[in-house]
Structure 1
């Protein structure tokens, strides 16, 4: 009886590792397809020196490289000193869209700001960033 229990335990353990390796491979493939749906021209922009008190418009462009339309669901700037605009209509395959940020440049000094963009093909936001230095007039 003891040999039967040990043999059963060995059989269960041997087959459990076989099934455990099947699922992660499928998930990695799906994740890669989602990441490749949009190609950004640039994910980070250096605007250089900008004069204090003069708003600066930064435009991030992308191309839909998937086979289905993509919709921008949400755009969230990192702070109240930045406002955002974006393509409001679905972006067809092969077409371009944009996300723009307007930075108010009220305070002098170096800055780094981000804008989080959520697309219809992924619930994980894409973080775009811009940096520069505000100089006194």
Structure 2
């Protein structure tokens, strides 16, 4: 039983209809990478590579600092490797990733809370890695000029 806290306490309702509707919608959607174009993931990985490359460029000459950067590199490799392996387990025979990146940006994706534009999805996935990569590069340039 589902109790809606916005209703009076005496009103007890069964599962909301939007749950059943959402289950039907997700059952009809083709599976595979949650409808996200692989280019979105590539942009995210490029941001992390940018961050690590900036760190290696500045701290790679000192052996103790290089060890810390090596551990960070290993963590990122494990993070993306595990995510790729888990997504590979969820693959279905029908492949819905055949469209171009521009098609994905125009069409967007359907999420459990509704439709999301391709631009919004790209921002949510890639904003942090790209921002960290750019910030690390700026810090690397400042450190290099200060030496």
Q: Verify same fold: TM over 0.5.
A: no
Larger radius of gyration: 1
Where is the strand percentage greater, Structure 1 or Structure 2? 1
Using the size of structure 2 for normalisation, the TM-score is 0.30
Using the size of structure 1 for normalisation, the TM-score is 0.32
Where is the helix percentage greater, Structure 1 or Structure 2? 2
